[in-house]
Amino acid sequence: MQRAFRQIYFDCNATTPVLPVAADAAMETMRSLYGNPSSTHLSGLQAKAILERARREAARVLNSDTSEIIFTSGATEAIQTAIVSMLITIRDALPSGQEARIAYGSTEHKAVPEALEHWVGKLALNARIEKIPVDAQGKLDLAWLRDRLPQLHALATMAVNNETGAVAPLVEVAKLVDECGLKQGRRPLWLVDGVQALGKIALDTRQLSFDYACFSGHKLYAPKGVGFLFARKSAPFVPLMVGGGQESGNRSGTENLPGVAAFGKILGYLPGPSSPATHGDPLFHSEPELENFRSRIVAALTEIFPRIVFNTPLAHSVPTTLNFSIPGMASKEILDLFDSAGIRVSAGSACSSAAIKPSYVLQAMNLDSWRCSAAVRLSFGPALSEEELEEGLLALREVG
Ligand code: PLP
């Protein structure tokens, strides 16, 4: 019997639905607490209180200081801000004629290499930009990094990959960066893309010495158009947006209060490295629960496609992302098949799935070319309910 139509949304690494608690928080700032946080009257003070509450939540989740959190329009803006800060600082300090050395992980989201390329050009910086190789699991080549670190001025590494879910060895990278700093008296400025890590793995700014980290609301059940940058107090900072002096002069422009309120609400449900969640009632599943969800999806996929090959290194990934290829099937065919059963997945990353090209992430992992061009990403969020999962499994079996 045909199932009643319902969308099974398994594309949460592209974006997530806005959860009712977040939508309610946003709605409240649009309908009643709609003041401008810069106004000095009561409405402004109420708006400011919402903004600062969200900042406290973000700081708690990262174990940082509230002064280190700057709200932005999303991760892409946070990345630009960090990169502009790094490049201008390097340019101003570099003896003339000397080349700046920059390295980024070869599986980074496009926002990082594109921003580096763009701003290096616009700032007329004499720079050599290199990609840090990864192994077949998507893990950064730490020996390569150890060799290059003494010469590097800037470094960008993502915490969790958006296509495969691979978790980066940030503890090891931090150790190398810190050792380099001790030996040399100088260490590269370090940006971490934490977008896909938020709500899945903890990032403790007191344990990991990165200078900047970027985050995006719409990857964790808040609306699109809001994110934040963590910029360490000791790290150089050059504002990208100037004007009214909002965000302590670090990011001018009237704040996106509905977005910030919604994101702040969601952050309140996350535990920090040394603090419990602010809201007691759990919204997100624990890692073992998510692992259980993933193994049930893996079992269903393997039952339907016995020759399936997983491109995600399951043992070294967040449980919410699966990337797979099926011999003899193009990703477009799999996508269409899933779509007809109401299951939304994507080919590689969302940004490139309109024109399906081989995944540069899988290519960097040196996987067979058929796997790179036939890859499908299935990603769910940490708030997936048991009922949604069951429906998804049923729909997957219908695909079979
Ligand atoms: N970094 C990663 C790892 C991402 O997955 C994304 C979004 O796909 C971004 C950065 C950019 O985020 P935003 O679209 O919020 O600017």
CA of 277 to the centre of ligand 1 (A): 24
**Cβ of 159 less than 6 Å from ligand 1:** no
CA 164 to centroid of ligand 1, rounded, Å: 14
Q: Which two tokens stand for residue 395?
A: 């729909």
Centre of ligand 1 to C-alpha 225, Å, is 11
Pocket test residue of 216, 352, 360 for ligand 1, highest count of atoms within 8 A of CB: 216
Burial of 289 (0-12, 13-18, 19+ CB in 10 A): middle
User: Does the C-beta of 227 come closer than 6 Å to ligand 1?
Assistant: yes
Cβ(108) to ligand 1 under 6 A? no
- pLDDT for 355 equals 59
pLDDT for 399 equals: 83
User: Cβ(106) to ligand 1 under 6 A?
Assistant: no
Ligand 1 contacts CB of residue 321 (under 6 A): no
**pLDDT tens digits for 311-355?**
999 999 999 999 999 999 998 999 999 999 999 999 975 555 555
Supply φ then ψ for residue 97, to 5 degrees.
Answer: 90, -15
- Considering only CA atoms, which of 233, 150, 235, 231 is closest in space to residue 186? 150
pLDDT for position 398: 86
111 lines ligand 1 (CB under 6 A): yes
- Phi/psi for 365 (5° steps) reads -80, 0
Q: Looking at residue 1, what is its pLDDT? A: 45
Counted residue by residue, the chain has a size of: 400
The answer to whether 62 and 198 have CB atoms below 8 angstroms apart is no
pLDDT in tens, 156-212: 999 999 999 999 999 999 999 999 999 988 899 999 999 999 999 999 999 999 999
Determine the distance separating the centroid of ligand 1 and the alpha carbon of 194, expressed in angstroms.
9
Pick from 162, 163, 317, 323 the residue to mutate for probing ligand 1's pocket: most ligand atoms within 8 Å of its CB.
162
Residue 4 has what pLDDT?
52
Q: Name which residue sits closest to atom 13 of ligand 1, judged by CA.
A: 75
Q: How far apart are CA 309 and CA 290, in angstroms?
A: 21
Predicted confidence at residue 268, as pLDDT, reads 98
214 is catalytic: no
How remote is the CA of residue 370 from the centroid of ligand 1, in Å? 26
Is 322's C-beta closer than 6 angstroms to any atom of ligand 1?
no
Closest CA to 282 of 261, 262, 266, 258: 266
Provide the residue-wise pLDDT of the chain in tens; the chain has 400 residues.
444 557 899 999 999 999 999 999 999 999 999 999 999 999 999 999 999 999 999 999 999 999 999 999 999 999 999 999 999 999 999 998 899 999 999 999 999 999 999 999 999 999 999 999 999 999 999 999 999 999 999 999 999 999 999 999 999 999 999 999 999 888 999 999 999 999 999 999 999 999 999 999 999 999 999 999 999 999 999 999 999 999 999 999 999 999 999 999 999 999 999 999 999 889 999 999 999 999 999 999 999 999 999 999 999 999 999 999 999 999 899 999 999 999 999 997 555 555 568 999 999 999 999 999 999 999 999 999 999 999 999 999 988 7
Q: Whose CA is nearest to atom 5 of ligand 1?
A: 162
Say what the pLDDT of residue 6 is: 74
Which of 12, 214, 351, 372 is the catalytic position?
A: 351
